[in-house]
Structure 1
Amino acid sequence: MNKVSASATAAVADIPDGASLAVGGFGLSGIPATLIDALHAQGATGLKVVSNNCGIDGQGLGVLLAEGRISRVTGSYVGENKEFARQYLSGELEVELVPQGTLAERLRAGGAGIPAFYTPAGVGTQVADGGLPWRYAADGSIAVASPAKESRTFGGRDHILEHGITTDYALVRAWRGDTHGNLVFNKAAANFNPLAAMAGRITVAEVEELVEPGALGPDAIHVPGIFVQRVVALTPAQAADKRIEHLRISASSTRGTVLA
Structure 2
Amino acid sequence: MTKRYDTADAALDGLLSDGMSIAAGGFGLCGIPELLIAAIHKAGTRELTIASNNCGVDGFGLGILLDARQIRKMISSYVGENAEFMRQYLSGELELEFNPQGTLAERMRAGGAGIPGFYTRTGVGTVIAEGKELKEFDGETYLLERGLVMDLAIVKAWKADESGNLVFRKTARNFNVPAATCGRVCVAEVEEIVPAGSLDPDCIHLPGIYVHRIVQGPHEKRIEQRTVSKG
Q: Tell me, yes or no, whether TM beats 0.5.
A: yes
Query: Following TM superposition, by how much is the alpha carbon of 1:216 offset from its aligned partner in structure 2, in angstroms?
Result: 1.1
| 1:4 alignment counterpart | 4
In structure 1, C-alpha distance between the alignment counterparts of 2:212 and 2:149, rounded to whole Å: 15
1:188 corresponds, among 145, 166, 171, to: 171
| 1:33 alignment counterpart | 34
In structure 2, C-alpha distance between the alignment counterparts of 1:121 and 1:67, rounded to whole Å: 34
Per the alignment, in what secondary structure is the counterpart of residue 30 of structure 1?
coil
Aligned pair count reads: 230
Which ranges of structure 1 fall in alignment gaps of 5 or more residues?
131-147, 255-260
In structure 2, C-alpha distance between the alignment counterparts of 1:85 and 1:76, rounded to whole Å: 13
Which ranges of structure 2 fall in alignment gaps of 5 or more residues?
none
Query: Following TM superposition, by how much is the alpha carbon of 1:2 offset from its aligned partner in structure 2, in angstroms?
Result: 2.3
In structure 1, C-alpha distance between the alignment counterparts of 2:160 and 2:94, rounded to whole Å: 35
In structure 2, C-alpha distance between the alignment counterparts of 1:79 and 1:22, rounded to whole Å: 19
* Contact 1:176–1:211 (Cα < 8 Å) also in 2: yes
Query: Following TM superposition, by how much is the alpha carbon of 1:221 offset from its aligned partner in structure 2, in angstroms?
Result: 0.7
Larger Rg: 1
| 1:13 alignment counterpart | 13
| 1:245 alignment counterpart | 224
Q: Percent identity?
A: 56
TM-score by length of 1: 0.86
Query: Following TM superposition, by how much is the alpha carbon of 1:179 offset from its aligned partner in structure 2, in angstroms?
Result: 1.2
In structure 1, C-alpha distance between the alignment counterparts of 2:65 and 2:12, rounded to whole Å: 14
- Structure 1 segments, 4+ long, off by >2 Å, are none
| 1:233 alignment counterpart | 216
Per-residue deviation, residues 128-150 of structure 1 (Å, max 9, x unmatched): 1x1xxxxxxxxxxxxxxxxx111
**Structure 2 counterparts to residues 160-175 of structure 1, below 5 A:** 160-175=143-158
| 2:192 alignment counterpart | 209
TM-score by length of 2: 0.97
